[in-house]
């Protein structure tokens, strides 16, 4: 059974965005015998791109030249499927222009494609009771938590999460708030630097509200009250879906992912002020919550830091 999202729509408008500036890694077994234009990148294979990062299989009209036979990773985008005891939750990436703009068709129209994805074994995130300290979070309790978070979303998620986590950890809301601000600065450091040393420097500058140079993007950015802001309607819609698509179950650490969600709300304020809402969402989707590489260690560190607080 599919469980469809609310207030979210999708139907591809062939803008070509998802076929540019991504490294599309391809499974060698799946690529065997195919006519795909591939690059060997270290030990891995990926679809070949031109100098501007555009997939060579994309036509000038933004149509995929290998559409009937394209790699499963392309076929899956922008869907994210999360398996729970209630069914398969259908999520989508807001990096997709159509999703971002809420352009779409009825969800039931997507069922044949979704069934095809499941038949092809597209990865689904399974549910297992999550360890939270000595407490194990079951699915029914989680659903109560999620409903509470969603109802509180126009405000600060930290308070809502602290009141639910309080059951399991006895966590004080102010402790969580302070931790999330600290981790949000670390998150900006991670996104704006090439190495750990640079990340620590940027994080310190963000906390001190001092100017820093983003070595990855080349701008300098001092911002006062960097992580404060009002939740706009588009921001509520976006973060609601981030929760609804079961983001906190997507990684190896439930608590680590929960902290990523809380930092995402702060970073949404931060990057919206710096670059505007659309780029802020792109940044979070592409580099923090989804389609990401190398964040698993950070997730574990986040969890360990939180557990030290209790």
Q: Which residues bind ligand SF4 (CB under 6 A)?
A: 12-18, 77-78, 96-98
Q: Which is nearer to ligand SF4, 24 or 88 (CB)?
A: 24
Q: How far is the CB of 77 from ligand SF4 (least distance, A)?
A: 6
Q: How far is the CB of 293 from ligand SF4 (least distance, A)?
A: 20
Q: Tell whether the torsion through CA atoms of 21, 27, 30 and 31 is positive or negative.
A: positive
Q: What is the Cα–Cα distance from 139 to 283, expressed in whole angstroms? A: 30
Q: Which is nearer to ligand SF4, 98 or 125 (CB)?
A: 98
Q: How far is the CB of 17 from ligand SF4 (least distance, A)?
A: 4
Q: How far is the CB of 18 from ligand SF4 (least distance, A)?
A: 3
**Could you write out the DSSP letters of every residue in 219-260?**
-B---TTTT-----HHHHHHHHHHHHTTGGGSSS-HHHHHHH
Q: Which is nearer to ligand SF4, 12 or 278 (CB)?
A: 12
Query: Is the Cβ–Cβ distance between 254 and 169 less than 8 Å?
Result: no
Q: How far is the CB of 73 from ligand SF4 (least distance, A)?
A: 13
Burial of 287 (0-12, 13-18, 19+ CB in 10 A): middle
Q: What is the Cα–Cα distance from 265 to 242, expressed in whole angstroms? A: 10
Q: What is the Cα–Cα distance from 161 to 62, expressed in whole angstroms? A: 42
Q: How far is the CB of 62 from ligand SF4 (least distance, A)?
A: 7
Q: What angle do CA 97, 101, 107 make, to 5 degrees?
A: 90
The single-letter DSSP state of residue 217 is T
φ/ψ bin of 103: left (φ > 0), alpha (ψ from -120 to 50), beta (otherwise): beta
Q: How far is the CB of 99 from ligand SF4 (least distance, A)?
A: 7
Q: What is the largest CA-CA distance in the chain?
A: 57
Q: What is the Cα–Cα distance from 233 to 185, expressed in whole angstroms? A: 25
Q: Which is nearer to ligand SF4, 55 or 239 (CB)?
A: 55
Q: Which is nearer to ligand SF4, 19 or 191 (CB)?
A: 19
Q: Which is nearer to ligand SF4, 133 or 286 (CB)?
A: 286
Closest alpha carbon to 18 in 66, 56, 55, 69: 55
Q: How far is the CB of 101 from ligand SF4 (least distance, A)?
A: 9
Q: Which is nearer to ligand SF4, 56 or 200 (CB)?
A: 56
Report phi then psi at 41, rounded to 5: -120, 95
Q: Which is nearer to ligand SF4, 14 or 175 (CB)?
A: 14
């Amino acid at each position: 059974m599919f469980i469809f999202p609310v207030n979210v729509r999708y139907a591809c408008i062939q803008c070509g965005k998802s076929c540019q500036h991504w490294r599309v890694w391809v499974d060698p077994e799946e690529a065997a015998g195919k006519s795909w234009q591939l690059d060997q990148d270290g030990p891995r294979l990926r679809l070949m791109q031109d100098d501007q990062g555009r997939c060579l299989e994309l036509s000038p009209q933004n149509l995929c030249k290998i559409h009937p036979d394209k790699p499963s990773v392309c076929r899956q985008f922008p869907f994210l499927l999360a398996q729970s005891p209630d069914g398969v939750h259908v999520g989508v990436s807001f990096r997709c222009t159509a999703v971002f703009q809420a352009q779409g068709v009825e969800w039931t129209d997507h069922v044949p494609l979704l069934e095809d994805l499941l038949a092809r074994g597209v990865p689904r995130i399974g549910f297992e009771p999550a360890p939270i300290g000595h407490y194990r979070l079951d699915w029914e309790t989680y659903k109560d938590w999620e409903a509470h978070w969603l109802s509180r979303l126009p405000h600060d998620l930290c308070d809502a999460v602290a009141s639910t986590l309080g059951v399991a950890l006895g966590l004080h809301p102010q402790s969580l708030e302070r931790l999330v601000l600290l981790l949000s600065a670390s998150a900006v450091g991670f996104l704006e630097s090439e190495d750990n040393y640079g990340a620590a420097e940027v994080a310190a500058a963000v906390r001190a509200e001092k100017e820093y140079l983003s070595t990855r993007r080349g701008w300098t950015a001092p911002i006062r009250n960097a992580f404060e802001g009002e939740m706009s309607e588009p921001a509520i819609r976006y973060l609601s879906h981030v929760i609804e698509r079961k983001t906190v179950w997507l990684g190896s650490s439930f608590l680590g992912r929960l902290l990523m969600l809380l930092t995402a709300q702060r970073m949404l304020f931060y990057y919206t002020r710096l670059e505007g809402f659309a780029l802020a969402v792109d940044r979070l989707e592409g580099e923090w919550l989804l389609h990401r590489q190398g964040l698993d260690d950070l997730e574990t560190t986040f969890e360990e830091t939180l557990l030290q607080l209790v």
